[in-house]
């Protein structure tokens, strides 16, 4: 049987004495768009950071395409990956944050090509060709020579998406990608993510945009207090949530 693209088994994570993830289990199939919702502090962002191995989990397992994230299993014992192996694994996971994190001293095209050249060893000419295509895909073909400060927030976020896609990831993680944007700019970023879903890219999207989740999401996961409270088809969960906590949360944002 084909492995799911992402599988989390009973994942726990604490910061000091404060538990943030309390036994999170989730399966994301290939080509699936999973939308994650929940109140502030429910563990959504931490969960994404654990998948990306930006945070080390305290217990449980996370798998990417069948491989352990952050570890290797050697004769039944777990060994943490070294720096080079960690970078290689992270390069297979695209992540787009709330804030765009573009390099301000680099042009848009340089932002998109830098990791291809430095991490993957792609020839500069090939990286540039890929970068220009991706910028065209996100509607920014004419901004290749611009600097981030010359762009709107929505344009900067679209550059961040192109930069993540340039690494040809197996899965894309979006951590509330529109939360830092002015309302009139939200639609242009969601349109890019919606188009990406149609291509069959596997995605996990933390969002409060119920319209987007209803239209583009295959599944919706509701988290609270570091736990998965409800999972189901996105349209069904939004229309008729089964859990009282999910109903209460959705009533505040619909």
The whole-number pLDDT of residue 72 equals 87
Structural contact between residues 193 and 185, judged by C-beta atoms closer than 8 angstroms? no
- Nearest-angstrom CA–CA distance, 57 and 49: 10
Structural contact between residues 210 and 238, judged by C-beta atoms closer than 8 angstroms? yes
Structural contact between residues 166 and 130, judged by C-beta atoms closer than 8 angstroms? yes
pLDDT at 156 over 80: yes
Structural contact between residues 74 and 127, judged by C-beta atoms closer than 8 angstroms? no
Phi, psi of 92 (to 5 degrees): -90, -5
pLDDT category, 79, cuts 50, 70, 90? confident
**Rounded to two decimals, what is the model's pTM?**
0.95
Give me the mean pLDDT over the 155-169 stretch.
97
Q: Among 22-26, 99-103, 173-177, which stretch is predicted with the lowest mean pLDDT?
A: 99-103
- What end-to-end distance do the CA atoms of the chain give, in Å? 39
pLDDT category, 230, cuts 50, 70, 90? very high
Give me the mean pLDDT over the 212-239 stretch.
97
pLDDT at 158 over 70: yes
Pairing relationship of beta strands 59-64 and 67-68 according to DSSP bridges: antiparallel
SS3 161: helix
Which of 56, 42, 78, 76 has the alpha carbon at shortest distance from 11?
56
Domain layout of the chain by residue ranges: 6-92+171-253, 103-168
Give me the architecture of the 6-92+171-253 domain, per CATH.
3-Layer(aba) Sandwich (3.40)
Beta-bridge mates of residue 220: 35, 232
Q: What share of the chain is helix, strand, coil (3-state, %, to 5)?
A: 40, 25, 35
Long-range contacts of 99-104 (CB under 8 A, 24+ apart): 99/180, 100/148, 100/153, 100/156, 100/157, 100/159, 100/160, 100/180, 101/160, 102/148, 102/156, 102/159, 102/160, 102/163, 103/148, 104/147, 104/148, 104/149
pLDDT category, 197, cuts 50, 70, 90? very high
The whole-number pLDDT of residue 5 equals 98
pLDDT at 49 over 90: yes
CA 83 vs. chain centroid, Å, equals 21
pLDDT category, 1, cuts 50, 70, 90? low
List of E strands, 65-110 = 67-68, 71-74, 77-80, 93-96
- Work out the angle between the directed axes of helices 108-118 and 153-165 (0-180°, nearest 10): 20
pLDDT category, 231, cuts 50, 70, 90? very high
Give me the mean pLDDT over the 132-139 stretch.
97
Report pLDDT digits (tens) over 3-20.
999 999 999 999 999 999
Structural contact between residues 59 and 127, judged by C-beta atoms closer than 8 angstroms? no
The whole-number pLDDT of residue 83 equals 85
The whole-number pLDDT of residue 75 equals 81
The whole-number pLDDT of residue 7 equals 98
The whole-number pLDDT of residue 82 equals 87
Could you give the C-alpha distances from 221 to 36, 67, 163, 235, 240, in angstroms and in order?
5, 23, 27, 12, 14
- Nearest-angstrom CA–CA distance, 128 and 114: 9
pLDDT at 78 over 90: no
Mean pLDDT for all residues in the chain: 95
């Amino acid at each position: 049987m084909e492995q799911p693209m992402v599988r989390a088994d009973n994942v726990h994570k604490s910061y000091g004495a404060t538990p943030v993830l309390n036994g999170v289990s989730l399966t994301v199939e290939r080509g699936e768009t999973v939308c994650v919702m929940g109140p502030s502090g429910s563990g959504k962002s931490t969960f994404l950071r654990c998948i990306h191995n930006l945070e080390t989990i305290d217990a449980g397992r996370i798998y990417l395409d069948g491989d352990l994230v952050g570890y290797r299993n050697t004769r039944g014992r777990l060994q943490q990956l070294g720096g080079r192996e960690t970078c290689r694994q992270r390069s297979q996971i695209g992540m787009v944050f709330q804030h765009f994190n573009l390099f301000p001293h680099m042009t848009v095209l340089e932002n998109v090509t830098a990791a291809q050249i430095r991490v993957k060893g792609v020839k500069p000419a090939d990286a540039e060709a890929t970068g220009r295509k991706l910028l065209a895909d996100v509607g920014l073909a004419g901004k290749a020579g611009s600097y981030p400060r010359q762009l709107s927030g929505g344009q900067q976020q679209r550059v961040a998406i192109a930069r993540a896609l340039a690494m040809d990831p197996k899965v894309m993680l979006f951590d509330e990608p529109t939360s830092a944007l002015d309302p009139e700019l939200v639609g242009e970023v969601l349109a890019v993510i919606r188009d990406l879903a149609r291509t069959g890219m596997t995605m996990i999207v933390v969002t409060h945009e119920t319209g987007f989740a209803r239209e583009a999401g295959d599944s919706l996961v509701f988290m609270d207090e570091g736990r998965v409270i409800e999972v189901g088809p996105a349209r069904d969960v939004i229309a008729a949530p089964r859990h009282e906590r999910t109903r209460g949360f959705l009533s505040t944002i619909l």
